[in-house]
Every structure is written in structure tokens, then in C-alpha cells.
Amino acid sequence: MRVVIDKYIPFVQEVLSPYAQVTALEPEAITAAAVRDADALIIRTRTKVNSSLLEGSAVQFVATATIGYDHIDTNYCEEHGIYWMSCPGCNAQAVCDYIEECLRELAVPEHSTVGVVGVGHVGSLVAKMAERKGYRVLLNDPPKNIGQSIGEIEEKCDVITFHTPITRAGLYPTYHLCDADFLRHCKPNAIIVNAARGGVVDEAALLTSGKRFVLDTWENEPHINAAVVMRAELASFHIAGYSVEGKSNASQMCLDAFSAHFGTPILSIDKKVVSLHANYGDSATGWLRRVSDQLKAQPDRFEQLRKQYKLR
């Protein structure tokens, strides 16, 4: 059995190697030619999984070690009998910690009102954290019939943080949910935070709105708009969920699905190996400001900075 994986997914190669021929590649090297003879792919958001990649291949299993899966053409996979899975909730705590650091770094006063748009794995943790820190919290999640209207979020919130998937169809599309009209109805000093998916926030509208903002996810990644970077209060290179715990959770979920699909023995990541990575990166107070300074100094190196980021 042959498995192609993104080389930046930790722990997987070592666990899978006794059961499969594992090829770990740079994301840009995961091409149609590279996967033609592969039985399985384990990838991240940088790999677009569609007919261009999979047509004529032997791939029957696709796992993305991420919460989001808009980079996977799920219809194509299902029509061709290719099993696919994502890892919902794997890095929810890490993203929550990112939002907590935003609130601390921006010195958002206690008793301010925080609006949480999208109340899934991440949003629910963010809401509990904000309440614990003394903020008033308003929720908005129409698909779940939770919380207030988006109009109330716009009108009443001092901080609005987005935790939705990116969707362009259906009753509640989220693409450019935060657009010029949304921003126009927000409080003058409102802070917009997007650590969800690039495109949930309309960056062109954000630039001209005069609003304060923090972005971890961007439109057109990795080719981001440097002008938006420089205007941001804090800017990071899509690493809100990049913690040792989050990465190991995602890797284990992919391995569990692989084992169930191919009938291998239980595949478990050695907790001792994970513990060796703990506290490897910068998690001291002020870490987000330091990340932001890096990106502002070199916005054209977004992808390189992301690859080099040491898990906190």
C-alpha cells in the first residue's frame, strides 16, 4: 500500500511506515503524477483535492488534518467512491487560546461585549473563555438556531470574532459575511477578528472601513495583500490552530480513519513523542505580537513563515 502525505503533518509518517510505503512531500509537490499510484492521501489545506489531482489515480482514501475541507471536492470524491474525512475540533482549544491572546494583547476592557459568529467546536470554547474573563458574550449561528441576529452582533459588539466554515451557497453563505454593509453597521471602534477561513471577511471592505482588525486567515493565501497586513492590529500566517495538541489530535484522527478504512491494527501516536514537542515553540506572553511583527516585516514570505513556525 502506498500513502502520500504532506510533510508538515507531524507524527503520521512514523506510525504508518510499518504498514505502508509512505512518501512525505512538500504540499506543492503533491501533484497528479505524485499520487497516481497512491492508495491514500493525508493532506492539509494547501492541497486542492479534485478531479485534476485524482483523475486516473488509485486513491481511495483522503484525509485532511484540518478542521476545514473546502479544499476537497467532496462531490467528486463521493461520486467516485473515494472516502474522505476532516478533523473537526482537532485544534479548537488552540484557536481559542489565540483569541484569548488577541483580547489580552489589544487590552480589550473587561465588560466589553464580544460577538462570536459561528458556535461550533471553536466558537463554543471562545464563548466560554470570554465569559470566564468577564466579557458579555453574544452568539450568532443561524444554522444551529443559536443566539442573536447578525444585526444585533453588528450593533452591540465591541469585538466580533468569526468561527464559521467558508460557504458560498445555501441559506446562510459565509463568503464575505463581513462585508462593507456589515462593517458600516458595526460600532465605530469595533474590532474584527478572523481566525476561521480566508474570505469570510471582505478584506477590501475592511481596508476602507476604518475598523480595527486582527487576521490569521486571508483571502488568496499564500499570496496575501500586504496593504491589509500593514493595516492590521495583529496579523499572523494562518497559525491560530498550530499547537502541539492540535496537530497531534488531527494526526491521530487521520490515523484512526485510515485504520478503520484499510483494516490495519490500531495506529496510535506515542504520547512520549508528542511530549517531546511540547513547549517547543514560543508561547510566552506576547507571542502573538512577535508573530505579527514577523509577518509585517516580510508579508511576501507568508508561506515560508508558516512552514517554519514552531508549534507552541
pLDDT at 160: 98
pLDDT at 275: 73
pLDDT at 33: 97
| 12 confidence band (pLDDT: 50, 70, 90) | very high
Instruction: Judge whether 121 counts as a catalytic residue.
Output: no
Q: Tell me the percentage of the chain whose pLDDT exceeds 70.
A: 99
- Find out whether 2 and 20 touch, Cβ atoms under 8 Å: yes
pLDDT at 272: 77
pLDDT in tens, 14-41: 999 999 999 999 999 999 999 999 999 9
Would the pLDDT of 276 be above 80?
A: no
Instruction: Judge whether 163 counts as a catalytic residue.
Output: no
Q: Is 224 left (phi over 0), alpha (psi -120 to 50) or beta?
A: beta
Query: What average pLDDT does the chain have?
Result: 95
Domains of the chain: 2-90+244-277 (3.40.50.720), 92-241+283-308 (3.40.50.720)
**Of 100, 105, 155, 221, which is the active-site residue?**
221
pLDDT in tens, 44-85: 999 999 999 999 999 999 999 999 899 999 999 999 999 999
Q: What's the full length of the chain, in residues?
A: 312
Between 152-161, 194-203, 275-284, the lowest mean confidence (pLDDT) is in 275-284
pLDDT in tens, 176-231: 999 999 999 999 999 999 999 999 999 999 999 999 999 999 999 999 999 999 99
Instruction: Judge whether 80 counts as a catalytic residue.
Output: no
**Of 46, 163, 176, 197, which is the active-site residue?**
197
pLDDT at 278: 63
Mean pLDDT of the 90-113 span: 97
Q: 75-87 burial string, b = 16+ CB within 10 Å, else e?
A: ebbeeeebbbbbb
**Of 46, 163, 212, 238, which is the active-site residue?**
238
* Pick from 165, 151, 170: nearest CA to 68: 165
- Find out whether 63 and 84 touch, Cβ atoms under 8 Å: yes
